[in-house]
Structure 1
């Protein structure tokens, strides 16, 4: 049971945004304010998509800490005294509440594992009573129960999913998904529930349209309805409408119109149109994107979680990324696959360094490459975004297990700089690589008589994406992790080149140190990834970490003692990397692995590609002792405390909060979502 306890002392980091926000005009501040509100109005959608049973916990936490008279934060000291619980118990409740709000669920956004409070249930009841709130038996059980559904995943496997009712089997899910694909119905903003008649697909939208009913091949009925998360989608749409009065140009105006249509009607096609306009809006002072975007949490890999962000451009850093993009054709030509497997025209992405003002999500990333619609990115390209204040956020209490003592100072010095280079080339990597496709008219985007598959010398490409198929729909559950792994491999394959390091201002010995720390950090991340692997379920709980483990595996198997894991006298582990062999051993091994990832992806070879990836991410049975050491050494993940904007006397002001559990709670209470 103790393995599920909330972190005792997680590091809290404030996303510093004030200097960049204050540089905006009043019009831009209003635009940022309303788009921030639109993003955060989807907060309860995120909670429910992760765990519908956690929505009452979210409501309870806000009830406990919100002063009904002022709408602000209660006097926490008075609440603690009135409850009569010990100082330690009350602090544990603060920590649980802050971590719940940081993850927007009682499941970790990084790892998908349930966490519970460290205080006894009797003390929780006293705090609830002192606040004048009510704790139902069902909510109490949801908070504390770890006997079942402790991981997110397929209900059939004993896991929890917010996208499917608990009685939906994998066969049920595949049956419905096959029908949706056949009829070209996008599933991104949907959930599925079993009914007496068959199945019901509910679509997120502010309006409720007439439902549609179909007969499935098994004789059951499929109903497709609208109005899921209706209240939230209406509020999102209202704020988007208000933001439109402050748009900077016609691209933003057209984008907001498409957003409004998408969130009111549930149209994914309208959201695709918003992304086309968004891609045309190059280099705005305020950057924002919103919608059902990433499919990490859906075990089927096709339904997306709500998210929205608003950020300001860091112009100095963006110049570096602009230089990276300007030379993208040169860098992409170095990737380890034939030119026939690369896009005919490299659509140079708009690459920007941003400082986050607001990010409605359960886990703030360090970088983004969107949109995720391949039918758009293959034609129009994508935007790459590096989130500077996420990368630079540090905690003085942070520790770095598995790094040798002699490497520690160097690691601390260059961890963030090397990560900046890695994020830049990683996000650039997402926009590379051709997918072989067939359109509705039977036309192929490649010559099937001439294009040879490098994995089957002498034979041409035999498989490709048929009409309506996408990478996610073909590779399903592993798609997100597979693509993150591919992008990480691209970062390691490109970043050691001198001209790329020059762009970021690293030369000579410093450049070599940056490369070494980047590879060392990836090896450490791969080792730490074992924390997110469940050996009983044989299931990975986090897409990025599964991919990083695969790369760590490649490094270990590269040979010539390039990477060796050694046990220390105190029973811990150390990563011993021969930095002189990065370019001669490590990088070639990663590049060879990367080539296979790209070829399987390009050719829609789900069977071989899936087996290849599962083999690369399988954890040997005899690694149990290594995983036990990793678990003993695990560090709490950062909790990011974000600010809020308010309109006062027609001016938009930004309020930031203390980087602490109380600051996290106060920010959510005053956000009022």
Structure 2
């Protein structure tokens, strides 16, 4: 699907008002404040709708923590109790290390890194942790008193909960992953469980996304395997009830067709019926008129090794009407792009339906979108809905702006971009290239192509997410350099593609490695996708020296020598990746990912990290949300005020206090 990740380098742009700023820095992370330009000018009913949807987006936070690992909630709450009640010396290195660990747990929504999936290594001792706990009155911990041992194991035992998501070929991916989507279930058992469901649904032109909203459990005594569905009255019910409450408030002020769409989503939450989720998605994708829009539910399956279970997420937004021209032009020409795609004609869509795209201003982030968020989204995920009804794509302008401002002047280009002409093009066209690539990736890339008859869509298994992101990225890269963009008035020349290509190859082959710990391979799907594309094109273009690894003054640089031939390689690779998806060719997909996307050169890896961290910049960024307040008079809402907090710790503690609805163990 759906998420477009942030590249490591960013270019500046002219200010659009008061600049965002970095509000906190720790470990490899910077936390940024983003603005919501245009909110004050919204009509009152739309402001009120944003408020209710924003509340719903905050109520699922505990769900995402628990989905990531079963021990996350007791760990977070124990650390928060310590943070709020410890009366000892808060200036010692041990305390500072504990504080940093808590900040990392908040940011990652658990004890595993949000990108690498590896468990955090504490920089304080278990004895120090226990001493701190002992110094706090026992009543402050409440039910957590009985879980201190569990928390200690989760934090300090390196053999427990080692990785949230293992994708290593040959391993039992469920048994070796710490995510909470499966309990006591082996990979082969889960695959059979859902294969039987799919077989029973064979021939259905509207197949259900089996397993999307449930935990799969195997009873130890009986060996019975069953699903715990996430719904009102089921698993996660206390949090889902609160989400439903705010969605129904939103429904009361929404207009059609959005009012009916919210009703369908509420029905899905109450029943757990995935057909109701399909009904909601169809209505949602057909709604291209509502100014305020939102995402709320179990959406993305990147965190499940089998690509079935969906993480909970929330996003509230409204259109940036002035910036929508670019995406409107792309949407209006969707059929041309599909018809001229380099993929096999049999795997192109004869008729592209319902493609809509817009530039949005985000007003609230939640769950899998918070604090780290995508810059582009394309939904829904079901292939049959995409084929019959289309898809909706967004580029999040105020988030990309905040990232750009936070990265302005950080010295990245000067350190990693060898040639002056590449730096000049990136400075001039980098932001436009990034935005267009995101638009093409989300609006057309994910929605392009079709499956061969008989292919159901789940055949690529653990490689599905990487290959889907590869496919969408290649679509965007190929068309970024097409003369059609000049004809449509979207770019002045091929120089925009040159800026985008140079940055993409540099990131895929080198600079994104700053995010990976030394000695580790690449695990995250978007990072694998970028490495796969860059390394494949490097190897295939060696005879013509399309991409060159240059050593100069003791430093390595990835340089593109022939941009036109690189574009041809993007087209060739897109053709093959689309074939793999369309035919469900698991073995070809596996070979492609394992050969190019996973293994890291340790010498280059160390060099990149040394150079990157010498710049004193963090490779990851996330955000604090704005705050909204209802203004009432005589029992009626007369306004909604917005404010911009700049304290990461206060926001996280506030969310834990006001939006924590689940028990410690679920």
1:146 aligns with 2:127: no
Task: String of CA shifts for 1:519-548, please: whole Å, max 9, x gaps.
Answer: 1221122124546779988x6421111110
1:607 aligns with 2:614: no
2:417, 2:266 → 1: CA distance? 49
1:435 aligns with 2:441: no
1:582 aligns with 2:582: no
Kept in 2, the 8 Å contact 1:565–1:576? The answer is yes
Q: Any gaps of 5 or more consecutive residues in structure 1?
A: 1-5, 67-78, 209-226, 438-463
- Could you say which residue in structure 2 is the equivalent of 1:655? 643
Which residue among 195, 209, 222 is the counterpart of 1:197?
A: 222
Which residue among 416, 424, 438 is the counterpart of 1:423?
A: 438
TM-score by length of 1: 0.81
2:50, 2:284 → 1: CA distance? 15
Which residue among 179, 186, 199 is the counterpart of 1:169?
A: 186
2:121, 2:411 → 1: CA distance? 24
1:639, 1:419 → 2: CA distance? 18
Shift of 1:99: 2.9
- Say if 1:582 and 1:671 are closer, same or farther in 2 by CA, change over 3 A: farther
Q: Which moved more, 1:102-111 or 1:115-124?
A: 115-124
- Say if 1:636 and 1:535 are closer, same or farther in 2 by CA, change over 3 A: closer
Alignment map for 1:357-372 (pairs within 5 Å): 357-362=363-368, 363-372=372-381
Shift of 1:200: 3.5
Which residue among 108, 115, 121 is the counterpart of 2:113?
A: 108
Q: 1 or 2 for the larger relative contact order (CA 8 Å, sep ≥6)?
A: 2
Partner SS for 2:29: coil
Kept in 1, the 8 Å contact 2:97–2:122? The answer is yes
Shift of 1:254: 1.4
- Say if 1:536 and 1:200 are closer, same or farther in 2 by CA, change over 3 A: farther
- Could you say which residue in structure 1 is the equivalent of 2:5? none
Partner SS for 2:38: helix
Shift of 1:178: 1.8
- Could you say which residue in structure 2 is the equivalent of 1:314? 320
Kept in 1, the 8 Å contact 2:154–2:161? The answer is no
- Could you say which residue in structure 2 is the equivalent of 1:594? 574
- Say if 1:9 and 1:50 are closer, same or farther in 2 by CA, change over 3 A: closer
Which residue among 36, 41, 47 is the counterpart of 1:23?
A: 41
1:385 aligns with 2:394: yes
Which residue among 507, 527, 538 is the counterpart of 1:525?
A: 507
Task: String of CA shifts for 1:541-581, please: whole Å, max 9, x gaps.
Answer: 211111101111122121222212234545x4322222xx2
Partner SS for 1:647: strand
Shift of 1:504: 6.8
1:282, 1:597 → 2: CA distance? 31
1:425, 1:34 → 2: CA distance? 32
Kept in 1, the 8 Å contact 2:60–2:239? The answer is yes
- Could you say which residue in structure 2 is the equivalent of 1:234? 241
Kept in 2, the 8 Å contact 1:33–1:652? The answer is yes
Kept in 2, the 8 Å contact 1:321–1:352? The answer is yes
Partner SS for 1:228: coil
Shift of 1:611: 3.1
2:291, 2:242 → 1: CA distance? 25
- Say if 1:616 and 1:322 are closer, same or farther in 2 by CA, change over 3 A: same
1:10 aligns with 2:29: yes
2:319, 2:119 → 1: CA distance? 36
1:27, 1:670 → 2: CA distance? 28
Shift of 1:173: 1.9
Shift of 1:205: 3.7
Shift of 1:502: 6.4
Alignment map for 1:123-272 (pairs within 5 Å): 124=129, 133-134=140-141, 136-151=148-163, 152-153=165-166, 154=172, 158-165=176-183, 167-184=184-201, 186-195=210-219, 196-208=221-233, 227-249=234-256, 251-272=257-278
Kept in 2, the 8 Å contact 1:334–1:494? The answer is no
- Say if 1:576 and 1:52 are closer, same or farther in 2 by CA, change over 3 A: same
Task: String of CA shifts for 1:169-223, please: whole Å, max 9, x gaps.
Answer: 2222222222232334611011112212124433434444xxxxxxxxxxxxxxx
TM-score by length of 2: 0.82
Shift of 1:499: 3.6
Shift of 1:628: 3.1
2:230, 2:621 → 1: CA distance? 33
Partner SS for 1:11: strand
1:354 aligns with 2:360: yes
2:150, 2:90 → 1: CA distance? 23
Kept in 2, the 8 Å contact 1:32–1:310? The answer is yes
1:33, 1:278 → 2: CA distance? 19
Partner SS for 2:353: coil
Task: String of CA shifts for 1:428-479, please: whole Å, max 9, x gaps.
Answer: 2111101123xxxxxxxxxxxxxxxxxxxxxxxxxx32xxx3x2x2111111
Kept in 1, the 8 Å contact 2:629–2:641? The answer is yes
Shift of 1:286: 0.7
Q: Which moved more, 1:368-377 or 1:348-357?
A: 348-357
1:233, 1:594 → 2: CA distance? 40
